[in-house]
Structure 1
Amino acid sequence: MRNKTIRQKLRPFSLLTASMALACAASGAQAASDPASPAAQDSSSTTTGSSTRTDTSVQDAYTHDSDHSHDLTHVTASPMNVLHESIGLSRMPQDAMHTPQNVNVVPQILMQQQNVKSLDEALKNVPGITASVGEGEGGMAGDQFLIRGFAAQNDIYENGLRDFGVYTRDSFYYDHVSVIKGPSSEVFGNGTTGGAINIVTKTPHLGNSYQASFSGGSGSYYRGTLDVNYQLNSTTAFRLTGMGNENNVVGRDYIYSHRWGIAPSLAFGLGKKVSFVLEYFHQNDNRIPDYGVPVVYSSANAIGRPVTEYGVKRTNWYGTTYDQDDSSTDMITGRLTAKVNPILTLYNDMRGGIFHRYFSASQEACSNFSSGATLTNNTINGVAPSSTCQSDFFSSNPAAAQVARNGGVGGPEPYRQSDWSIQDVFSGVAHLKTGRIRHEIIGGFDIEYVTDHRQNYAYGSNRPGTSLLDPSPYVPGLTLGNCSQYPNRLVNIGNGVGRKCYKDSDALDVGFFLSDQVWLTDYLSVKAGFRWDNWNSHYSATGGSTATPDVHYGQNETTINPSVSIMYTPRSNLMVYFNWSESTTPLSLYVTNSSEPLNAKSASAAPERSRLYEVGTKYSAFHDRIGFTAALFRLEKNNSVQTDPSTGDISATSDQERNQGLELSASGTLLPNWMFYGTYALYDPTITKAGSTTSKQGGQIQYVPHNQATAWTSYEIAPRKPWNMTIGGGITWRQGVWLDQANTARVPATVEFDAMVSHHFADHWKVAMNAYNLDNRLNYGSLFSNRVTPSIGRSFLFNISAQY
């Protein structure tokens, strides 16, 4: 009834706006544009980045380039000032400066100086982002981020199209990374409670360029990358980026990653009114999953802490030789841009993807039951090795402590995953006038279908426990079988589903979006928009044990997510804004990366609903040399979803959560040759209503720190001289956080000092050295309610590169 009322209210607005756009386009209405301001003209005098481009685009109402169809090199006075970076998708055509939300951009030059090798490393520069380990038996792993404390594992995009796979993303083909904070369902569709991560890739440009690099260092680290751009004719170019990477992890036993990737792309119509970019991406990764170390409690009323805080070696890994995470990802993308006339530009972005994965992990458990108690599914000949793990560890004989590796109910058994997805987004951006009123109208539709098929496997017996202090990965005699061999040893899916062999999920999302930014005066504008979505999903669990019947569930949700912004722009380099927006997250949204998307209890659950209030300002100062941002926000979420750390069951609760705070950033060139990039976040994350027994009324939302900051600076000594040198360094700080909604377990603060030094020689060559975690502090990167993963120890990476 509520959605019907909203649609009735929005119908006249959408019909009127669409009619005005068509009428004005047909009559050749005058495109909205202003003369370029002196600041804007000055900012275009310097070209930065790895390449240049021919720019024939029109200027929009803010006197900056609004055409980001290729997202190559951006014209700014400082490559570290990110305010004039594009967001990287057609339906958000403005740059970070003129987008009425807090947007953190990780620029190319910062990733180069830090020798960033993955999406996770790039996002260390963004406050409010943490990583989680995985969910119960589902063993999600891969890139699992939270933004402002809210799950964003389904909110990773590449050039505005969803990247649906569950894998660790390498950064070898990144141009820059944008993080759009706050609910963005009006743009992206369902999800995006805390925000969205958009990766902008390297694509072909006019002119030839060649770049190659090789890195080696601590932890048997070897890495090579290639980036070649070749102009085929006056409007066509080809680009090829590639990567090979092999490394262990300093400070963790047995953990390694062997991966390679390739990303060729072809661009037609460069500099023309109609252009098309065709991209292909493949990444293959064979790694060992790291579920970290358990959280333990020294007494009944103590706060849980990682066992490594009590002297257990940070290198301890509690997996087995059977553990493996082998993934293969293929995506092909086509992006069409057509400038119909000075008023209207049309875009069509399409992607198809295939994702395969074999995953097997051991989930450690260090329990504290009374003597003689047993732990379900972790018993070995009637003995539960972890039942007295904690009491043994804190006794006079800590060496007696034994960790179980089967996890919770059933434990994380292996599975094979095969997914595919297709998405098409058609959009149009119109700049026009109705009388004296200027408009920027954005509208279009978004269709996505994704499917997931999993086949579960089972071990013939329980994995035996191992020593908490001195674990061993070797398990002699353990056998792995298929569904028919060990049907009663399959993962016991909760809520009456039972032990099933196959899990199949699929979902179809059809969305329509429309927004209109209206300039009431030259300096004051209002933007209002909405997105309508129909989400139709299905889930089934079949085969395996006959003790429980096969099940089939489904959800069909129709949602409307509005957004309203007010922007005051007295100058092109200054904006003050207010934003109100909403987002919706159906429980079945996580098709490819959730352990159990639906069950009998949750199939009829209402979706999460989030609401954002944000006021902020953005200022590009000193002729665009330094960019400043400040944002005050309040983010509210109802019907919060929780995951049981033992069973992996996902359930809707009546919890209400609120995170509010202040986010600041400054980036650019402070003085000649001196660059700086810094961010700070102050959060007040509160559980305003505890609707479940596992949440604490008035407690702090899990994983969200009160304070978080990053800083990076570099200085170039004697540039263009034979004795030139660039030195730099930075700090990443995150205050300690609670690991559960009950606020009974906590992880200490993260403090990491990094540094770099580099030297250019022979015009085109560079040597560099990066140092990470210089004081070898015991930090924790990936977090979950009952376990955490220690971060990399002190390490060094040497690099030599050539660019022509």
Structure 2
Amino acid sequence: MSRDTNRALSAPNTAPNTALVAGLSLGAAMVGGMAFADPSFAQTAAPGTAAAPVAVPEVSVTGARPTNQLVAPTGNPRLPGTIQETPQTITVVPQEVLREQTVTTLEQALRNVPGITSTIGEGNGGVSGDQFRIRGFSSQNDLLVDGLRDFGSYQRDTFTYEDVQVLKGASGFAFGTSAIGGGININTKAPTLENRYAATATGGMGPFARFTADINQRVSETIAMRLNVMGQSSSLVDRDDQDTRRWGIAPSIAFGLGTPTTFTVDYLHYEDRHTIDGGMPIVYARRNAIGRPASEYGVRRSNWYGIQNDEDDVTVDRLTARFAHSFGGGLSITNDTRLTRVDRTTAITAATCGTNNASNTAYANSCSGQFFNRQNPVLAYGGGSNAPYNQINEAIQNITTLNANFSTGPLRHQLTAGVDIAHETVDRTAYPYSPTRPSVRLLTPETNNALFLATGPANNRRETESTNLGLFLNERLWLTPQLSVYGGFRWTKFDLDYQAGTPGARPSQNYDISDSYWDPRAGVIWEPAPNQTFYYSYSTSTTPPGTFFTTFPAGAANFNNNFEPERNTNHEVGAKIGFLDNRLGVTAALFHAEKGNAFVQADDGSGDVVATGDRQRIRGAELGVTGNITPEWNIYAAYAYLDSETTRSDTPANEGRRVQYVPKHSASLWTTYDIARDTPWNVTLGAGITYRSKVFLNADNTAEVPANFSFDAMIQHKINQNLIVRVNGYNLTDRTNYEGLFGNRAIVGAGRTVLVSLAAEF
């Protein structure tokens, strides 16, 4: 298969992210009171502006797929149009990059996005799995799949992904509750009207073994089915006992493809069992020194400080239905529904080496003092060292979105409005070790690695029930064919019931929290040409107290009714421009973000999350380039500069410090070049880097991890029209990098790794 054919467009998916007909009653009632559905209100776009979307027959297209990601849709009905037209920074990791890099997890995909850091489980070990910070702010609840929330905390696999999009800046309008630093939206592989059968087998160092299959079958002129499957068994290079076993299956069916009315149903069953790494302890070379991971001072980077109980055993079942209808005349409605159940049993060991003690005697007797005196100190178990627990998340979400393009006299309008309802229950039961976990030493943790401990009767239970009702409205108004303004809001009603305590006893904590708040947005967009967008945007988001009680139990322990919500505002000016006949997209943005009433981790090493009056400010700049420089040469590059500061704090030592987990500089580059394409001697060469400058781990900046740098490469050969062989090398300089961060520990990344893939497509 030629490289162009490998990038070929399957028939475009004309079904926007939508769902069950049950939610249509609300949307139909809204439509019934509007004149926009009348075809007489259809508008011809003014010169220099984009035409209103219309339904077109679905066809199979061959030829090169445009790699300028600015022309891609956002994948979120609340943000109609393309990434070019959306007045916020959106970074896309396209299918081509996921495939060429042999990406298997969401965390690996997001290494291509500067300004994102990954953290270890927070709040007494309550959260692990995928935990990201966007522009320095937590995005625990801000993961969407096809525009709907992906409930639960677990490590996500990419076998169903079409692309990954990261929206930067406060995004309460598009994502709802939280979305402080932005959000992540994953677009999945949907059925198309082109028959396609593909499979990939990958093996290599670790050892590593993985198989995926992607089957798309056209059933009729308007119906198609798709099936994605995955199985993986793997270990990490230079990391003791880090094993993964996972498999998944994702069938889907779409009706009405190429017609004004589409209905798609997809289901995901996913099981993942992998070892949890609590991280490398932070040590202090001397009194009042800056703490760094012990592996920076000669401790084996492969050390794992856990026991055999430290596994994450997750089962995910997710059913999504999406409905869309175009009335014509620029009026359309979508309705999306998702049901999710995540059943998770997990445990983690968080071994720590204490804090930087103020007195000489205390330091000499501390874990760090003993280590730098050439001893093998016993580590402490921090607040993150919880015994096993089982947590079940069950959730339902329904979103109805109305999009209308119409005119009033000489003025053109684009209206987006709708309702977002989500209900989630979280039931978490914890069990103590019996006997308790034995001590572990810094230099010789392998004496504990083979231990498996029994557990006693349940000793703690947390139950959370939350409901979010969101109403959203946004109007974009063209003052001239090139100049438009927009304004909108989301109003959210938040209700939460939380109980915690010993099973069978009266709850020791019982909170009933109800709040409502507004998240406005506004801005100006200037489009002097279809491939040029310049904008100013103002956006906000809110995280009410209680949002993370189940996963941040210290937040519940420290809660009082006077806590104010976390509030974030983002100001951004930016440009998105297409070059070289729009083959190459270039973006640039300057932004200023502020977060008030921040929740932060305590500096005492306990892992507690406490509410504060802290105000955090992050200013920065982002640059991005994506697309084809020549038909043979592709590039995907981005850079982020983040200047962070705690501008106000109740803790004097924190004021004026950099915000924890925020790198000042980060960058990524992935570029490929085709040699002798469409000949028997064809070769595709690829290479890239990811870089992140040093990051502070706590609010008072007394612990840090050094800069990360990884050089990766790829060589690919098309054997014939149906077979491709690919070799990927990762961290080829074998540098010690740190992937997951926490206040007193950091996860060491894998060493130099080489994988070989054989891909078949018919």
Same fold (TM over 0.5): yes
**1:21 Cα shift?**
10
Contact 1:553 1:603 in 2 (8 A): no
Change in 2 beyond 3 A, CA 1:24/1:151: same
Distance 1:477 1:98 in 2: 55
- Partner of residue 615, structure 1: 573
- Partner of residue 780, structure 1: 738
Q: Deviations over 1:687-733 (max 9, x none)?
A: 1112235x521111111111111111100111110010000100001
Contact 2:695 2:706 in 1 (8 A): yes
Distance 1:75 1:601 in 2: 58
Change in 2 beyond 3 A, CA 1:771/1:474: closer
Is 1:665 the counterpart of 2:624? The answer is yes
Contact 1:69 1:90 in 2 (8 A): no
Distance 2:525 2:249 in 1: 41
Q: Deviations over 1:364-420 (max 9, x none)?
A: 02126999x9x9xxxxxxxxxx9732121011x32x31223x3239x4121111110
Following superposition of structure 1 onto structure 2, how do residues 118-137 of structure 1 map, counting pairs within 5 Å? 118-137=105-124
Change in 2 beyond 3 A, CA 1:28/1:230: closer
Is 1:414 the counterpart of 2:391? The answer is no
Contact 2:124 2:552 in 1 (8 A): no
Distance 2:759 2:436 in 1: 49
Distance 2:162 2:450 in 1: 44
- Partner of residue 382, structure 1: none
- Partner of residue 246, structure 1: 233
Contact 2:305 2:449 in 1 (8 A): no
Q: Secondary structure at the match of 1:186?
A: helix
- Partner of residue 588, structure 1: 546
Contact 1:175 1:201 in 2 (8 A): yes
Is 1:390 the counterpart of 2:390? The answer is no
Contact 2:118 2:133 in 1 (8 A): yes
Distance 1:772 1:69 in 2: 43
Distance 1:561 1:370 in 2: 43
Amino acid at match of 2:164: V
Distance 2:272 2:614 in 1: 38
Q: Secondary structure at the match of 1:87?
A: coil
Amino acid at match of 2:41: Q
Contact 1:80 1:677 in 2 (8 A): no
Contact 2:322 2:336 in 1 (8 A): yes
Q: Secondary structure at the match of 1:392?
A: helix
**1:312 Cα shift?**
0.3
Contact 1:82 1:107 in 2 (8 A): yes
Instruction: Specify which of 297, 300, 304 is matched with residue 287 of structure 2.
Output: 300
Following superposition of structure 1 onto structure 2, how do residues 435-514 of structure 1 map, counting pairs within 5 Å? 435-472=409-446, 473-474=448-449, 478-483=453-458, 487=459, 501-514=460-473
Contact 1:36 1:63 in 2 (8 A): no
Distance 2:597 2:632 in 1: 50
Q: Secondary structure at the match of 2:328?
A: coil
Instruction: Extract unaligned runs of 5+ from structure 1.
Output: 1-17, 38-60, 376-385, 488-500
Following superposition of structure 1 onto structure 2, how do residues 192-591 of structure 1 map, counting pairs within 5 Å? 192-367=179-354, 388-395=366-373, 397-398=374-375, 400-404=376-380, 406-408=381-383, 411-472=385-446, 473-474=448-449, 478-483=453-458, 487=459, 501-544=460-503, 550-590=508-548
Instruction: Specify which of 33, 49, 71 is matched with residue 44 of structure 2.
Output: 33
Distance 1:597 1:237 in 2: 47
Distance 2:57 2:280 in 1: 45
Q: Deviations over 1:19-54 (max 9, x none)?
A: 9994432654432332787xxxxxxxxxxxxxxxxx
Distance 2:193 2:568 in 1: 43
Distance 2:310 2:728 in 1: 31
The size of the alignment, in residue pairs, is: 731
Q: Secondary structure at the match of 2:654?
A: coil
Distance 1:651 1:74 in 2: 54
Q: Deviations over 1:80-137 (max 9, x none)?
A: 3110111112121111110000100111111111111111111111111000001142
Distance 1:68 1:293 in 2: 55
Change in 2 beyond 3 A, CA 1:240/1:591: farther
Distance 1:21 1:519 in 2: 25
**1:215 Cα shift?**
0.1
Instruction: Specify which of 580, 593, 609 is matched with residue 635 of structure 1.
Output: 593
Is 1:680 the counterpart of 2:639? The answer is yes
Amino acid at match of 1:465: S
* Deviates most, 110-119 or 536-545: 536-545
Q: Secondary structure at the match of 2:124?
A: helix
Contact 1:337 1:347 in 2 (8 A): yes
Instruction: Specify which of 39, 51, 62 is matched with residue 50 of structure 2.
Output: 62
**1:509 Cα shift?**
0.1
Distance 1:647 1:73 in 2: 57
Q: Deviations over 1:448-506 (max 9, x none)?
A: 001100111001233121221121225769431113xxx5xxxxxxxxxxxxx211011
Instruction: Specify which of 741, 745, 752 is matched with residue 794 of structure 1.
Output: 752
- Partner of residue 40, structure 1: none
Following superposition of structure 1 onto structure 2, how do residues 68-147 of structure 1 map, counting pairs within 5 Å? 79-147=66-134
Amino acid at match of 1:408: G
Contact 1:106 1:125 in 2 (8 A): yes
Is 1:766 the counterpart of 2:753? The answer is no
* Deviates most, 633-642 or 25-34: 25-34
Contact 2:46 2:481 in 1 (8 A): no
Change in 2 beyond 3 A, CA 1:697/1:600: closer
Change in 2 beyond 3 A, CA 1:600/1:128: closer
Distance 1:306 1:206 in 2: 52
- Partner of residue 6, structure 2: none
Contact 1:247 1:256 in 2 (8 A): yes
Contact 1:418 1:452 in 2 (8 A): yes
Change in 2 beyond 3 A, CA 1:683/1:64: farther
Distance 1:597 1:288 in 2: 27
Distance 1:110 1:479 in 2: 44
Contact 2:429 2:462 in 1 (8 A): yes
Change in 2 beyond 3 A, CA 1:689/1:505: same
TM-score, length basis structure 2: 0.92
Change in 2 beyond 3 A, CA 1:597/1:67: farther
Amino acid at match of 2:625: A
TM-score, length basis structure 1: 0.87
Q: Deviations over 1:520-575 (max 9, x none)?
A: 000000111001000001110132597x9632112111010000010000111001
Distance 2:150 2:388 in 1: 24
Distance 2:451 2:739 in 1: 32
Following superposition of structure 1 onto structure 2, how do residues 702-721 of structure 1 map, counting pairs within 5 Å? 702-721=660-679
Change in 2 beyond 3 A, CA 1:102/1:77: farther
